Structure 1
């Protein structure tokens, strides 16, 4: 009698597979549009990102065809500007970040030993927003009205006088639409990593890839809101004449650069860190040694994230920054090389201590080492202010950017694609076409961008559509253009290889690379529920080591670990303590639903209507989003206390707690973190103009209104205090009514501030900035009002009790945030004028 193979050992116990598949499966046909399963959503993100990557690559080929020879008439200036802008926009916003999001959505639950992410419907909503927003931006290219001011959209070039058409509006509104998806993904990733893991996976024993994704998602929550704010302010200027960036009326074009690069430089590390996470995951498998320096890498990731937010002026050395600031930001730009070097030395140490096996994924990792280190060295060169002044806005910067982003992102992602290909398709990659693809991409890339360093040093500016002959650039540009087509052939060969192997590759065995990590402890390709039972990791599991040996994998498949049963038609996964990994709840996840799709459609109605200046329709879209979100939230929870249920291995925990232990609490907290970043950027904008802009603020606009300020402050305080009292009250409905009344009073006072005290916002940047601040406070007062009404309705419907008080806690948190930010706004609108008065 032969022993069962490892493949057979990973097959779920008879009967358990069918029961779990019936619970977790997604209907065929049109029902696929209602999918919320993370495996499906992750694949959709990845495939869509690859499509946008192909579009961005075609645009790059057009750019290189135009620059191949001097005086080339292949493209006219208008078409070139659209193609140049769209290439950067597609690669930065529609490929790099969504590709990382897709990989995270697909892999995280599998790596963490969970059955899905914390908020499956939020992931589906994020995908639809990404698809609709990206389609809106790219379709503009087909219609000849694509953005043409550069992917950085510098003012005044992107302002109405110099870009009068709809082109810039498409960028501002379309990218903001896409950023909604990014914020949703960031919230989902942070909460899932912290709260949705398997039993015993303490924070310090997580897979290193989860640490990379956790830090990256946190950076997105802080780094993306400044760009969203800048896009809103510029659209307000273009649509209504609010002069935030117009120096004639008290604005300053540099405000846009500050807001853009407050996003733009952390963005570089937001792109790099997930790719570095792939390297830290894949390299130890082929080095045949656990990752060296796990703790040091975690510290370096956090340090890199922290330092990245102090580097944005790195891109503005040539705009007239004071010398002291130049020295600070130059030093910070060099300092960020230290945590990067820590990771590189850890990878080298892992190779030295192991017995490396150079399979196909390792080939791309070696290419990553060469290209990224070269790009990092030129980055240190650009951090030196005198050198930066010499090469600023030349092709040297273009070369550095591509060495960092392609070397630091594309090569690790291609390594990851071949490494996880058996997981996606159940079939193994082979060397033949993959090796040829690597060498074509590697050689083509270096012959494309290495000469750009030289053309940049010879003075060739970026963002030009042609150049005169005889400047020493001709041969180098021709070499770059020819090599770029060689690189494109390599990428095309990669796609062909993936498609052929999906169809004809040999079937993959269980854990084909011998990784021993949890994502391989399941059948390939994975079932919709991931694990027949969730493992309990012992104390012996050490950082950087394999977590799932053959015995544990077989026990999981047999349903002998946690949640190896089905009951009550529930989709169950474990929720754990964020630090210790101790199971503290069973999360009940939703099944397929069209709500995320309809919510994304309503969001699209809002953005598209705003694009075409149909503001009543835009308000209807916003109202539809609010109604759908309320329906979404209303479908959660129960009118009775959920039982404490057994989870296996002799343990029992509460099921679906509706109190502060719920991941929904964390979702609101991290959403408010992003909101606070938005508010801090808005306050920074007013402070920047106050200090930098001439004649700012005009004395005529400075009269305080103490009565309105007092009413608004009292209302905000009453709303926050009443909401807080309602949390602990036995009969909370009256206190919620008080909270709603306070929010309504604050809203009325803030509206009066906007409508009566402030002059029209189009008259001066001070009036525009003050109106934006007051509108922010009024919007959050309105949210507090809606939250109080929603909680009151939940109380009346029986969803709230002393043990089910999540709605009250979240209302109190939102009301407190609205009160705190509202008081800051009131101090800025009514207090600063008193301090600034002569």
Structure 2
């Protein structure tokens, strides 16, 4: 066999492996690849927006294309970049942290990923059909119900398909944490990242149905001539805002709480100290999640709810500052007196504290309902939520990549390149968004295609755009680092950071069954506890025996492909007879695959004790 043929066969084998895998570690990588691609796409859209606003009355892109850009940037970054990358990290790390061999429902886990991917592709196919959604990432009615063309239809179907996958992921993580923790891994011994995974899974379970209902009503209005949001026919356009934000504000915590868990792990590891106030951190996480469902209408202070409703939601919003403040001080006290190592992961984590705190302080400002009449729909709000989402979530994702890269890819990212990427992105971030607070206070409205000369907005917008270029350079250096480490760096050693939690106890690279013997957990920071007692490794909770693992399956991919095809049928059912073939064919394909799965006698496979002992030798 020639080397070229061997390479093709090898590539085909790897491709088939990832198309059919139900291994949580490989699915975690798939989420990172998919979310990373959409992150780059959303970032490109952001750069185009900033180029358009680099000078007054610019004509770099048209007004219609600008509306599409701001819609696609927001939608892509929230639903198809930040969310799936975090789900990828949870998939890769959480089962190892709790001492499990896999998630509770591996098949459903794979299905959740493919639904997300096809939902993201569905949304972005709109670029190729001549009309991307243009009603803003929040798709407020009646703008979204009256938007011409099929752009908003792609928005609706893309989010419905991907949202189903996210809901499956949340349920899966809940069942995994409740039922599959290692012996001795009580709830109050779980690492903070696993705790935040558990809490945001509850948020997903209760928040996503509100979005699903809103999307169905929007779909009925657009495709089947109903009138849920049409005021002229007895509908109510404000209902869309309630449904969207009943989902949308818990979504902020679905994004930020995993980042909080990431920083908690990194601060403890690189300070060589137990996380200060662990119990308080757990209950602060739960309280943030609880209060997150009580604040949605602070996005709606200007719609006319009245002073009583506005006051109630303002007070509830300010209350969230209390558990968040507990977390900030506990991180600082974890660092206090610690034997601190400053590396790339730690730089991102340290930069998060002041950056996110600025976002929190401006959050209190916009929570003041009377003052919000001044801030609302200005660049002050843009600056606020980017300080939360980028200064919190994106910093957390990049910190996690540097921290867990050896676990996921068996390589350590280059430190010099990591620090270059950090400083470029960090400086660019503050250049881009800090100045936008002042642009907003000066009256610059959000979502506007151009701004006029002689309004005092020229310099601020120019600085903001230069900052976006710096952020872009930082991302490029990070990507180069990823490829450089893969081709130039040697395999990572086991436990390169002298870690505290169970994911660092597994072999490197991680076996597909994770643990040959389930570990016995004897306290918080289980691995560190064993190290301090001189054991060097975890005590097993069971003898070496057969291990049962699930089989791979192509069915999750085919089910998701079926829904993807059917989505085009829904979008074009009023304009093309071919649409019904796509609609019924796609739904039929998905249902047949579900039937095959339900009838299939899939008991997985066993790795015998003898095979495990042979591997050990």
From 107, 118, 122, the counterpart of 2:93:
107
Q: Are the aligned partners of 1:425 and 1:524 in contact in 2 as well (CA < 8 Å)?
A: no
TM-score (norm 1): 0.68
Give SS of 1:444's match.
helix
In structure 1, which of residues 62, 67, 92 is the aligned counterpart of residue 53 of structure 2? 67
Q: 1:28 to 1:445 in 2, by over 3 A?
A: closer
2:30 equivalent in structure 1:
44
Task: Map residues 255-270 of structure 1 onto 2, 5 A cutoff.
Answer: 255-270=239-254
Instruction: Pick the aligned partner of 1:610 from 570, 580, 583.
Output: 570
Q: Structure 2, unaligned stretches of length 5 or more?
A: 1-11, 574-578, 610-617
Q: Is the 8 A contact 2:122 2:564 kept in 1?
A: no
Structure 1 residue 518: deviation in Å? 1.1
Q: 1:32 to 1:399 in 2, by over 3 A?
A: closer
Q: Which residue in 2 is equivalent to 1:466? A: 450
Structure 2 matches for 1:415-426, cutoff 5 A?
415-426=399-410
Asked if structure 1 preserves the Cα contact closer than 8 Å seen for 2:295 and 2:313, the reply is: yes
Q: Is the 8 A contact 1:521 1:548 kept in 2?
A: no
Q: 1:328 to 1:555 in 2, by over 3 A?
A: closer
Corresponding residue of 1:117: 103
2:587 is the counterpart of 1:622: yes
Counterpart of 2:613 in structure 1 is none
Work out which of the residue numbers 272, 282, 305 in structure 2 matches 1:288. 272
Contact 1:395 1:456 in 2 (8 A): yes
1:523 and 1:544 mapped to 2: Cα distance? 16
Are 2:587 and 1:635 aligned?
A: no
- Cα 1:38–1:547 shift into 2, 3 Å: farther
In 1: Cα distance, 2:202 partner to 2:184 partner:
24
Q: For residue 262 of structure 1, report the CA deviation from its aligned partner.
A: 0.7
Provide the aligned C-alpha RMSD in A: 2.0
Deviation, structure 1 residue 190: 0.7
1:318-717 alignment runs, 5 A limit: 318-538=302-522, 541-542=523-524, 546=528, 549=531, 554=537, 561-562=541-542, 564-566=544-546, 571-572=547-548, 589-613=549-573, 614-615=579-580, 617-635=582-600
Q: Does the 8 A contact of 2:97 with 2:191 survive in 1?
A: yes
Deviation at 1:544, TM superposition (A): 8.0
Counterparts of 2:406 and 2:42 in 1: how far apart (Å)? 27
Give the deviation of 1:497 after TM superposition: 1.2
The one-character-per-residue Cα deviations of 1:399-428 (angstroms, maximum 9, x if unpaired) are 001000001111121111111111123222
TM-aligned CA deviation for residue 546 of structure 1: 3.0
Asked if structure 1 preserves the Cα contact closer than 8 Å seen for 2:502 and 2:526, the reply is: no
CA separation in 2, counterparts of 1:341 and 1:31? 45
CA offsets, 1:671-715, max 9 Å, x none? xxxxxxxxxxxxxxxxxxxxxxxxxxxxxxxxxxxxxxxxxxxxx
Tell whether 2:138 aligns with 1:138.
Answer: no
1:713 counterpart residue number:
none
Q: Give the CA deviation at 1:102.
A: 0.7
Distance (Å, rounded) in 2 between the aligned partners of 1:637 and 1:445: 50
**1:77 matched residue in structure 2:** 63
In structure 1, runs of 5+ residues without a counterpart are 1-25, 573-588, 639-644, 647-838
Q: Describe the superposition over 1:160-216 as per-residue Cα deviations: whole angstroms up to 9, x where unpaired.
A: 3xx120011000111111101101111111111111121121122112211100000
Where does residue 281 of structure 2 map in the other structure? 297
**CA shift digits 1:635-657 (9 cap, x unpaired):** 3688xxxxxx99xxxxxxxxxxx
Give the SS at the match of 1:347: helix
Equivalenced residues, count? 588
Rg larger for: 1
Distance 1:63 1:273 in 2: 29
Rounded to whole Å, the distance in 2 between the matches of 1:35 and 1:496 is 27
Cα distance in 1, alignment partners of residues 597 and 94 from structure 2: 24
Q: Could you tell me the TM-score, scaled by structure 2's length?
A: 0.92
Distance between the aligned counterparts of 2:322 and 2:581, measured in 1?
A: 52
CA distance in 1, matches of 2:156, 2:222: 10
Alpha-carbon distance between aligned partners in 2 of 1:368 and 1:410, rounded to the nearest angstrom:
9
Q: Following TM superposition, by how much is the alpha carbon of 1:608 offset from its aligned partner in structure 2, in angstroms? A: 2.4
The aligned counterpart of 2:7 is none
Q: Mean alpha-carbon deviation: is it higher for 501-510 or for 384-393?
A: 501-510
- 2:182 matched to 1:217? no
In the aligned structure 2, how far is the partner of 1:123 from the partner of 1:322? 44
Q: Distance in 2 between matches of 1:513 and 1:31?
A: 30
In the alignment, what sits opposite 2:3? none
Per the alignment, residue 134 of structure 2 pairs with 148
Give the distance between the partners of 1:31 and 1:515, measured in 2 at CA. Answer: 31
**26-35 or 37-46, larger mean C-alpha shift:** 26-35
Q: Work out which of the residue numbers 198, 202, 208 in structure 1 matches 2:182.
A: 198
